[in-house]
Structure 1
Amino acid sequence: MSDTPADVEPLWELRPPTGDADQDAVLPPVARRMVAAVREGTAGGLFPPVVTAGPEGTVKVDRLLGGAADARMLAHALEDRRFTPLLALLERLDAWCVSATRRYSTVLADGVLDVTNAEVFGPVVSEAFVACATGRAHYARDRVAEWAARCEAFLTLFLDRLLRDMNTCWPENPAFHGPVVGLWTHGEETHNGRQRVLRLDCAGGGRVAYKPRPASGELLFTACGGEGTPASVFDLLNNAPAASGEVRLPVLSCWSGAEQGYLWQEWIEPPAQWGPIRTSGEWRLTGTRLAPREAARFWHRTGSLAAAMFAFGITDMIGGNVVTGSRPGESEPLLYPIDLEIYFCRVPRLYDTGLLYDPTAEVEQHHVGLESTPRWCSAEGPPVCWRAEPTGALRLYRRRRSYARDETRTVVADTEGRSGYGPYLPAMLRGMFDAWTLMCRQRPAIRRFLSTAAAGHYVRVLRQPTFRYFDALVPRWLSGGGAAPVPAEPDVRFDRAELDQLRRMDVPYFVRSLDGGPVLRVEPPPRPFETARVAARPEPEGGWPPLRELLDGANLELAGLGVALRDAVEHVFDEVTEHVVTDESLGVRLHLQSPAEGQVGFDWPEVGRRITYLWTQERVRLRIDALDAPEVPVEPAPAGEIRRRLLRLDRLDGAIRMPWAAGGMADDAAERRLRTLTDAGIAWLSEVVADHGWPGHRMVGAAAAAAASRLVQHAREHLDFRRHCLELMRQAAAGGDLPWREVAYLTDELRLADGLPQVYGTKFEPVAGKLVPCPIEDPDEVNHRRAAMGMEPLADYTDRIRQRYPLTGREAS
């Protein structure tokens, strides 16, 4: 892991003390208890983790603070006056724990509320420690005192609700019987006065999530009921007669409390089908692993969920807000939406739900709801961490890289090593079709249900992307704050309602009633649920949710599914096992020519018809034929042939280039064959570019687009054409049709060809027996330039290149 400023920012250092004095003796009793718990290895979660280098440019949690040496350093540090606010926070929360344990003994087991319990108090203590260590004294004093008061108010309100609701509002399920024997606090977002999601472990064996926010999509869509009246939209659809095939949408126990502003929800556990889905040396990533038949059923049901989310305008379904899991008694897992706050809003494309990557997004979105690649990087984790120094000290850094994860609840693999729904695309699409036909047929019943059930419900209004709020919050938290949080992007502005919440270190939270009316902000405790009207301008296209047409089901027409089908295909086009498939068991006929050109037909025996959706980038069409009608021949598309030829050229090139590079590039015959192959490929590609433009992701898919980039990089004798291609590639990257790193590779190639230093450090040469980057212009800024192109730090890239080409003297592209 590199120590360059672009990778990490040193904030403070925890040093070993000198001498043999017992620092614990001068600390307040609660601080001595905390230090003792750290010494015993039970309270390390109260502080940032100690990290080391992880795979693929990540950082991995090496350990938490623990043991005699860490406890001694911590005790010595806490003597410093800068930590006085932290000690005051510990004393206040410790006194509250003693009082609350007595007051709530009927619903809370002994030992749960202890200020050294990192599962409960880890987030607030860690934040307070970092604020004291790195912030200005007056900021730490005021802010940490506020956090202590907010934490006490939040937990008191929670326990009051638990005491009242456990024996009145909770279901009769014995699994949810108390008392609560374990409590865990979510460490990421806070809302409405530093409130967080909690997990409760019940004496009956069940787990419950407590959600202190008024948006109640889980109750409206995923609540499960008994016989008779449906409890939710998904419950209604699961119990309706099938239209074109079986549909099973995820439901779970979730229930409202005695007042508005919060809800209780069953905690979804990982499924029994759990195991390693990726290994590399010492690294191991575990997730859901399904046998092929199980996987086909899983993806059929996930397709139904995706169609329902598209139909009801459900969004923000990114990784973490949906998880794969099982409920008690279920033998096969489902994908569960567990954080359903934003719905009945405008989602013109399937990726607007958050389930898929947005191909036009400025930032690459790894962790979508239907994540298909088992990457090592995680989307979550503390913003600061410790690094162990050779001296024994621990240095505190602001984290710049992703944490490495060791498990994932979003990536689903099969037992043959394939991940995502690409290998099961016909099942996924069939699930979407079966759910869509059911929703179309049940449109009157859905409308009737919503006309009565929607009363009293709220939908969250996300006025800015969450990452903008985090960008403003994290620097403020680490640097001691300022007059007001400032957006990272100069053209972004926060209004007063947002600033009020950001100043108390909350992610701003706004709601709107399903009956309509103004956008509201939610006030913090001790007021359980009060709102204040805000202007909320400018409005998004289509207006703020809830959209009336979605409540009325106006979009539930057969043709309305076409765009979602096209998006689902584009998302996994390069992962699809076969691009021409006839699956008689599913009644699916699939013919794909490019990410944006294809068709899929569904047999619908119940009505004696075959429904075929045909699409290009510009439009989607619907064709309805008799079930026994002969299939209409598919017209070949230019993009399909361009894709096939690019991939064929790339395979031929690799078959020659890899052995040539491994042999030290000394085989003249192989070099001539490569030159002949490249010249022929460039002659053909120049015609493609002239007729169709640059073959980017949307035209030919990611794999073939990368092959086109490699072909141009290899064509060192075609400088004019390469310069023309660089301009086309810049335009494609600006439109989200090509990764910016491809532009960086070719930029460096052309600069070296012109006798200039490279700017991104992508090209290497042998020096003293190892590969080093060719000369770089302004090398101190190279990591900033690489980051702007979505590339890893140069040190990590250099390590990968040296591992991949240990015997060569040049980088092979």
Structure 2
Amino acid sequence: MLDASADVEPLWEIHTPAGDADEDLSAILPPVARRLIGAVRGGTAGGLFPPVVTAGPEGTVRIDRLLGGAADARMLAHALTDQRFTPLLTMLERLDAWCVRATRRYSTVVAGGVLDVTNADLFGPMVSEAFVACATGRPHYARDRVAEWTERCQAFLTLFLDRLQRDMRTCWPGEPAFQGPVTGLWTHGEETHNGRQRVLRLDCAGGGRVAYKPRPASGELLFTAQGGAGSPASVFGLLNDAPAASGEVRLPVLSCWPGAGPGYLWQEWIEPPAQWGPIRASGEWRLTGTRLSPREAARFWHRTGSLAAATFAFGITDMIGGNVVTGTRPGEHEPLLYPIDLEIYFCRVSRLYDTGLLHDRTAEVDQHHVGLESSPRWCSAEGPAVCWHAETTGALRLYRRRKPCTREETRTVVADTGGRAGYGPYLPAMLRGMFDAWTLMCRQRPAIRRFLSTAASGHYVRVLRQPTFRYFDALVPRWLSGGGAAPVPAEPGVHFDRAELDQLRRMDVPYFVRSLDGGPVLRIEPPPRSFETAAVAAAAVETAAVAARPEPEGGWPPLPELLDGANLELAGLGVALRDAVEHVFDDVTEHVVTDESLGVRLHLQSPAEGQVGFDWPEVGRRVTYIWTREKVRLRIDAVDAPEVPAEPAPAGEVRRRLLRLDRLDGAIRMPWADGGMVDDSAERRLRTLTDTGIAWLSRVVTEHGWPGHTMVGAAAAAAASRLVQHARGHLDFRRRCLELMRQAAAGGDLPWREVAYLTDELRRADGLPQVYGTKFEPVAGRLEPYPIEEPDDVDRRRAAMGMESLADYTDRIRRRFPLTAKEAS
């Protein structure tokens, strides 16, 4: 049963009408609406409306189904007779008329049946947004906004089809896979730019797929375009063609080409690899992703390391999940990681975290769906903002989604056939790939500089003037009000200027660019709302200068020094290596490794302390990077010189002892708990072990502060939290630890849930109700939370600590710790 308590009040509700009401609607609904209802009944048009969701694993919501069948068709037909949906019916009629005209006009490039208003792949995002706006918004505003969206939808699609018709005759590639006509169109539903324009996917008659990107930022063309014989077409192509420096490098390139006019591009669609299968299973749930043999995984992570080094070198950012995917191109057998949305580059990137490839726990937004995910989580970073919940009465209630969606597949998590996810088990290969790419870029720096000096003209880079999530937080309430609410920032102290407000008012995510030649920050003028001919297509790419808000430190991209390759020096890789290690520190099985086949010598002591040496036989040297949290050093020795041992690090010893204490505790505690906690001898051993551990931890805290993630890694930091929780005395020290843990959590060095656990433990010790509901006792045959202060507000408090609802947590605890017959009695 879906726990709706975590959501706001229902936005709207539909019921099944009495009898077969939809049979009598022919005189009420217009013909296009009747056709739509018929398509829903037949199960082909459910994607035009929000999906029905149910409870998923680990606090997620799963898309259970799309609207379809006789019952849903009856409810929907009955709903559409409500006057509030008049703007939607008008939209359907206008889009239907446009489809009839466009089908005739573009018959040479688009197959019949594709341009149809019941085609959910094409019109789903537009119709669904209009449906929600009509259902939840004020009628006056919904009418005006839906009419505007209809015009912009027609303008966007007309501009796209004009470009397609022209480009297929002029600049389309000659590969058979990309030959037309287009047999399918799919619209990306997540965000719009520049007049409600979206990314489209084209299915070609030749079997290939192409992405259409209606924006001038063109990093794909500059970095990843595949060239033919002769001069390289992109930076990555140049590097792939260059002689190796310290080892083989393979960077991802793909077919992408500019349109015949400015302001857009076409790009090959990267398909999932053949190595595709389940990487996680739990009960009825299955998560599918890329699954490689150990040999394939080692090559994959070496090549991914090369990509990571290149993104760091060229200041490429926003490489979060969804913007990079694992896949293969036709004719290839082993997958690569492909950047498929490369808009932001030549930025200030001081850490590898800044690229978006790694999860930065201290970032403003806790975005763990990064480009290099190391955990096969059930949650997704995307999903519909509004969903239906099926009630026991048969009614459907519309809610704004508050929980993450369950994902059934992932293009960013890569596992091996042994079930190990991420690059942690292949860290030497990942680091070697970074080093090999870095030495190549350093050696090819003059060639890169020459290429960029001639290729940069006409290219643009996207400028994120504010984090995208702030724009989304302002857009959703405006959408749910039918466009009536002003776009107001959700955070205090944040404001939108006129250039941002102009775009937010038309429900666009604000979009700004800057030429690689420099100059002002620009916004893109959208195509006219009444738009039917190619003659005015140029209006879609006109730019207007924006009065820039205060520039970030270092300035807006592109940074001239990065265009010049200023950071391509051997020492410049050190910070990126340290960050790559820190990201997977707890996933690394061996912290001291010598891999002769790779020429890598790795010695890690804590997440931010260690060293890695790379043999470089071609120049007779071994290059070693040595780092702490504060600095990175470079040492160059003869390749056959004796290895210099790593200097001992206090954090390494703290980590080892915490993990050892935790293992000993678990070896005693779990059998004791499974046996009903009646073994007095085991209880005494646990108390002695805990008291000894607390005495040692108090000295650690005095000398080094709280052992959080950055000091000892996530696993050891969690062990420290458990040690403090398990102590039954030592109240003064535990209260001191609670304050230190709060400070650590505020700095992103500890999950807030650890603070919640200890808070409840100390409240119980003081004889007070718990705050977060983390502690349980057997009551009337089952586990129940100890008394909770202000229980009606507990889920809000838990959510603020990043925790699931109390109902979901209670269910999980009861399944994890079933009561024995003796305990239940």
TM-score by length of 2: 0.97
Q: Which residue of 2 aligns with 1:552?
A: 564
1:364, CA displacement in angstroms?
Answer: 2.4
From 763, 769, 784, the counterpart of 1:757: 769
367, 371, 378: which one pairs with 1:369? Answer: 371
The question of 1:786 aligning with 2:793 is answered: no
Match of 2:819 among 782, 807, 813: 807
Is the contact made by 2:757 and 2:774 (CA closer than 8 Å) also made in structure 1? yes
For the Cα contact (< 8 Å) 2:524–2:540, is it kept in 1? no
Structure-1 separation of matches of 2:415 and 2:313? 27
Q: In structure 2, how many angstroms separate the alpha carbons of the residues matched to 1:276 and 1:599?
A: 35
Q: CA–CA distance in 2 between the matches of 1:69 and 1:711?
A: 55
8 Å contact from structure 1 (residues 770, 802) kept in 2? yes
The corresponding residue for 2:25 is 24
Distance 1:777 1:491 in 2: 32
Aligned 8 A contact 1:9 1:399 in 2: no
Correspondence for 2:585: 573
Q: Report what 2:536 is aligned to.
A: none
CA distance in 2, matches of 1:664, 1:153: 69
* Alignment partner of 1:166 out of 165, 168, 171: 168
Confirm or deny: 8 A CA contact 1:223 1:253 kept in the other structure: yes
Distance 1:54-1:8 versus aligned 2 partners, 3 A rule: farther
Deviations 1:44-69 (A, max 9, x none): 00000011110111011111100000
Which one of 152, 172, 182 corresponds to residue 180 of structure 1?
182
User: Contact conserved, 2:621 with 2:636, CA < 8 A, in 1?
Assistant: yes
TM-aligned CA deviation for residue 789 of structure 1? 1.0
Contact kept in structure 1, 2:138 and 2:484, CA below 8 Å = no
Match of 2:491 in 1: 489
Match of 1:13 in 2: 13
State the secondary structure of the residue aligned to 1:299: helix
Q: How far is 1:628 from its partner?
A: 0.9
**Residue 409 of structure 1 corresponds to which residue in structure 2?**
411
Matched positions, count: 811
Percent identity (aligned): 87
Q: 1:609 aligns with which of 621, 627, 631?
A: 621
Distance in structure 2 (CA, Å) of the matches to 1:277 and 1:3? 27
Confirm or deny: 8 A CA contact 1:224 1:235 kept in the other structure: yes
After the TM superposition, which residues 683-702 of structure 1 pair with which residues of structure 2 at under 5 Å, given as runs?
Answer: 683-702=695-714
Q: Give, in whole Å, the separation in 1 of the partners of 2:356 and 2:336.
A: 18
In structure 2, the CA distance between the partners of 1:671 and 1:363, relative to structure 1 (3 Å rule), is farther
Instruction: Indicate whether 1:469 and 2:481 are aligned.
Output: no
User: 1:390 deviation in Å?
Assistant: 1.3
2:531 corresponds to:
none
SS of match in other structure, 2:809: helix
Contact conserved, 1:319 with 1:367, CA < 8 A, in 2? yes
Which residue of 2 is the match for residue 626 of structure 1?
638
The CA deviation string for residues 742-800 of structure 1, in whole angstroms up to 9 with x for no partner, is: 11111111111111111111111111111111111111211111111111111111111
| Corresponding position of 2:808 | 796
Cα shift at 1:415: 0.3
What secondary structure sits across from 1:91 in the alignment?
helix
Does structure 2 conserve the Cα–Cα contact (< 8 Å) formed by 1:323 and 1:338? yes
Query: What residue is the counterpart of 2:534 in the other structure?
Result: none
Are the structure 2 counterparts of residues 294 and 597 from structure 1 closer, same or farther at C-alpha, using a change threshold of 3 Å?
same
The AA in structure 1 aligned to 2:39 is A
Instruction: Name the counterpart of 2:330.
Output: 328
> Does the CA-based 8 Å contact 1:294-1:332 persist in structure 2?
yes
Q: Give the secondary structure class of the aligned counterpart of 1:9.
A: coil
Q: Distance in 1 between matches of 2:9 and 2:682?
A: 48
Deviating more after overlay: 344-353 vs 768-777? 768-777
CA RMSD of aligned residues (A): 1.2
Q: What are the within-5 Å matches in structure 2 for residues 94-493 of structure 1?
A: 94-493=96-495
Deviates more, 1:474-483 or 1:31-40: 474-483
- Between 1:4-13 and 1:34-43, the stretch displaced more is 4-13
Structure 1 SS opposite 2:519:
strand
In 1, Cα distance between the equivalents of 2:626 and 2:686?
40
Among candidates 514, 517, 529, match of residue 515 of structure 1: 517
In structure 2, the partner of 1:598 is 610
SS, match of residue 598 in structure 1: strand
Greater mean alpha carbon deviation, residues 675-684 or residues 790-799: 790-799
Q: Could you say what secondary structure the match of 2:618 adopts?
A: helix
Deviates more, 1:360-369 or 1:303-312: 360-369
Q: Write out aligned runs for 1:58-69 (5 A).
A: 58-69=60-71
Residue of structure 2 in register with 1:88 after alignment: 90
| Maintained 8 Å contact 1:274/1:287 | yes
Instruction: Give the deviation of 1:810 after TM superposition.
Output: 13
- The answer to whether 1:588 aligns with 2:600 is yes
Measure how far apart 1:483 and its partner are.
5.0
Residue by residue over 1:644-692, the C-alpha shift from the partner in whole angstroms, topping out at 9 and shown as x without a partner, is 1100100110111111111111111111111010000001101111111
Q: Could you tell me how far apart the structure 2 residues matched to 1:799 and 1:167 are?
A: 61
Q: 1:410 to 1:23 in 2, by over 3 A?
A: farther
Contact 1:766–1:809, Cα closer than 8 Å, also in 2 = no
Give a deviation string over 1:314-333, Cα, whole Å, max 9, x none. 00000000000000000100
CA shift, 1:557, in A, is 0.2
* Residue identity in the other structure for 2:770: Q
CA contact (8 A) 2:142 2:483 kept: no
- Measured in 1, the distance between the counterparts of 2:220 and 2:732 equals 58
Cα distance between partner residues in 2 of 1:475 and 1:760:
29
1:679 aligns with 2:698: no
Contiguous gaps of at least 5 residues in structure 1: none
* 2:739 matches 1:727: yes
Instruction: Note the alpha carbon deviations across 1:604-652, whole angstroms, 9 max, x for none.
Output: 0010000000000000000000011111122211111110110010011
Query: Equivalent residue of 2:521, what SS?
Result: strand
* Residue 23 (structure 1) shift: 4.0
1:436–1:561 Cα contact (<8 Å) kept: yes
What are the superposed Cα offsets for residues 551-588 of structure 1, whole Å, 9 maximum, x if unpaired? 00010000000000000000000001210000000000
Tell me by how many angstroms 1:481 deviates: 3.9
Deviation larger for 600-609 or 788-797: 788-797
Q: Distance in 2 between matches of 1:392 and 1:731?
A: 48
Q: CA deviation at 1:393?
A: 0.8
> In structure 2, what is the Cα distance between the partners aligned to 1:83 and 1:732?
51
- The 5-angstrom pairing of residues 628-777 of structure 1 reads 628-777=640-789
AA aligned to 1:779 is P
CA distance in 2, matches of 1:470, 1:79: 31
Deviation string for 1:434-482 (max 9, x for gaps)? 0000000000000000000000000000011111111111121113344
1:51 aligns with 2:42: no
Matched to 2:498, the amino acid is R
Q: Which moved more, 1:480-489 or 1:236-245?
A: 480-489
- Asked if structure 2 preserves the Cα contact closer than 8 Å seen for 1:770 and 1:809, the reply is no
| Alignment-derived partner of residue 537 in structure 1 | 549
5+ residue gaps, structure 2, are: 529-538
| Conserved? CA contact 2:772–2:788, under 8 Å | yes
Structure 1 position 4, deviation (Å): 4.9
Q: Quick one: distance in 2 between partners of 1:469 and 1:788?
A: 21
Q: Is contact 1:598–1:614 with CA below 8 Å preserved after alignment?
A: yes
SS in 2 for 1:132: helix
Question: For 2:117 and 2:50, how far apart are their aligned partners in 1?
Answer: 16
Q: Which moved more, 1:377-386 or 1:22-31?
A: 22-31
- The answer to whether the 8 A contact 1:771-1:809 is kept is no
- Regions of 4+ moved over 6 Å: 808-811
Q: CA deviation at 1:359?
A: 2.6
What CA deviation, in whole Å up to 9, does each residue of 1:159-213 have, x standing for no partner?
Answer: 0000000121111111111000000000101000000000000001110000000
Distance 1:54 1:153, change over 3 A: same
